[in-house]
Amino acid sequence: MKTEIVLNEGKVYRKIGGGLFVVPVLFLLLPIYFLAQFKRDILPNVKALGLYLQMNPGMILVALFEVVSIIALFYLLVSSIIFFFKKKVKFPKIMVCLLGYYSLFLIVDYFLFNLFANYATPEIAETFNAPYRKVIYRSLIISAILIPYLLVSKRVKGTFIK
């Protein structure tokens, strides 16, 4: 027999539903997205790291920041997936941390890279930065929608109560 969770309004939440259906879809799409981003954005930068270091040794700070942040993001992602499917009460907090940390990571990485990068012209800088800004804006929009939902929604509170 499944346990039923009853809120004050008399609504019963036996399983994940409502806006929470977005979360498993995101979990399924995130690995594909990260692999595509790795191939498109990170791998070329790893191959060019020697050139970056020759141009500016400060780029090693950017590389270290990215490695540490990617490990932390991976930990948060795996934790949130586990907590989601086990319906743990920690899930909303971990997911909020994941969304917030990812957006913060993108912003800090953008500014660090531009701090140490020596672009030849402003046009070259814009060519490199425009796609990255789109990723930042997308993450901020997703965070602005999902974070309040995870913190306020009665469906979330009723589903992740144990």
Q: Which of 44, 92, 97, 40 is nearest to 69 (CA)?
A: 97
What percentage of residues in the chain have a pLDDT greater than 70? 78
Residues 6+ apart with CB under 8 A from 96: 147, 150, 151
pLDDT digits (tens, 9 = 90+) for 27-41: 778 778 777 776 776
Helix (H) or strand (E) segment spanning residue 51: helix 49-55
**pTM flag (> 0.85):** no
Residue 104 CA to its chain's centroid (Å) = 9
Residue pair 161/4 in contact by the 8 Å Cβ criterion: no
Report the pLDDT value the prediction gives residue 89, as an integer from 0 to 100: 87
- Cα 108–Cα 112–Cα 118 angle in degrees, nearest 5: 150
**What's the mean pLDDT when you consider all of the chain?**
79
